[in-house]
Amino acid sequence: MAAKLDDYLRFNETALNLRAQRQQLLASNIANADTPNYKARDIDFAKTLQGAMAGKSSTVPPVELARTSSAHISGKATGDGGIGGSPLLYRKETQSSVDGNTVDMDVERNQFTDNAVRYEAGITAVNAQIKGLLAAIQPG
């Protein structure tokens, strides 16, 4: 029974998780608007959601960290693994800048707001699903 409930809610749960991660990515772009040579990043949300629903994991292998002393702890950096198993993409430059920064604040604010509205719509959809389940369970 619980597995069926999980399956029923999985799509919206996955979409909300990806929207939250994308919101952080867009906020990072905005925060780095004045950082020289910063390249704005984003994801193809539809492809990322399809990959996440199919259960695909990140295809980017971890990177071995360089050690300059034998006393250093070895480790692996996950690098730029992306979101939901999909790689992060560079946003196409809309206007050139002297310092090499590709963040266009108008584009970033628009994407940030659009993503926030879609996140809220996802929450509304989950609430409707839960209300439907409660209506089916409760006598009356």
Average of per-residue pLDDT values in the chain:
88
What's the number of CA atoms in the CB half-sphere (13 Å) around residue 124? 6
The confidence band for 76, taking pLDDT boundaries of 50, 70 and 90, is low
- Residue 88's φ and ψ, nearest 5 degrees, are -75, 140
pTM for the full predicted model = 0.79
Q: How many CB atoms lie within 10 A of CB 71?
A: 6
Cross-strand partners of 63:
77
Q: What's the total number of domains in the chain?
A: 1
Range of the domain at 16: 2-137
Share of the chain above pLDDT 90, in %: 60
The confidence band for 83, taking pLDDT boundaries of 50, 70 and 90, is confident
The confidence band for 7, taking pLDDT boundaries of 50, 70 and 90, is confident
